[in-house]
Structure 1
Amino acid sequence: ILKDPELREKRIVVRQFPVATGEYRTTFKELHKMGIRNIIIDVPRENIHKVLKHAQQVDMLSDYHNYFFTSLDVHTVDLEDYQYGGTNISGFNLVDENSKEYLEVIRDWQNSPPRYPNWKGESLEQLAKTEVGLVYDAVRLFAKALHDLDQTQSISIRPISCETEEPWIFGNAVTNYMRMV
């Protein structure tokens, strides 16, 4: 953003929130005095509510303010408290929570008995995290690559040692297939 030639004529202010204290109001007061209304915020998902609450407390949540959160899990945060304030609150979302496959996976996870004795079950908020979605996609891609490769040639699996650096005979084929998909 700072190197974009089209933005050279615009004023860009960079501030870092005090990490140790978790106090965001001071920074918002400073931005308010400067008249800053378009704000990109990079905080962990767990801090988003506190950030918005502090912004609200210093009159930085209005029709004139736009917030963009860089957290890929902003879609898991309940923003209902800020729904009618007029503030534009945005972020990226890599998980399509309305897709048929996603809804089936969530239903299956909720209806399946725990496979581990100490597992308490995860909330939908935890299951919808981007990290979980990426791992799920990676495992499905790997499984599909193995399945499809096994259809064209018989894959034999023999014990593999973690101590040696001998590559798996089908490793390149699986990797190449995964790159194509």
Structure 2
Amino acid sequence: MRAVPVSGRDLLTRLGPDAARWALLRPAGHDLPDLDPAHLLSQREDNALFRVQYAHARTRALMRNASQLGIIPQPQPQPQPHDAPAEPGAYRHPAEAALLALLADYPRTLEAAARHRAPDRLARQLVALADGFFRFHDACPALPSGESGESGESGERKPSAVHRSRLALADAAGAVLAGGLHLLGISAPDHL
């Protein structure tokens, strides 16, 4: 551990509790923390804490919108071997598979972070998970849109098994992001 060139009170005053904790917990023990308020408090893509909190907020927004549309998340089984027909809604897209892999790796990362007393490992996993969620979010719509020829009375596509399974994956990502932030003592806002 290296001494931080500012008092804890000054750090909390300048950054607030979330950014201060992130600044001190994200770098590895041998690295100096980035204490620049302009970077840590910006709501931009280059701020890792913002990306993690925003990813969580997006998952919550998806769940709110799904609830308003009456769509219930429902996970689907993994694709079967090539000789078996794939289940409808099974996670076949590369962005879905990548997000699933990050979620599956979370318990191992969490255990290693605890064993080595290295919260930076958890913080890096949360950043990777947030980035994986955004790739998934951009490539795999979790809610139906009106762009297809299949339309209901309102002009929007009806929800399918794919939508329900993608919502379940987004919900799982949100739960892991919230849990990881909570373990670091950082808030996981539902709205940003």
| Larger-Rg structure | 1
Instruction: Answer whether TM exceeds 0.5 for this pair.
Output: no
Of structures 1 and 2, the one scoring higher in RCO (CA 8 A, sep 6+) is: 2
Q: Which has a greater percent of helix?
A: 2
Q: TM-score range by the shorter chain?
A: under 0.3
TM-score, structure 2 as length reference: 0.25
TM-score, structure 1 as length reference: 0.26
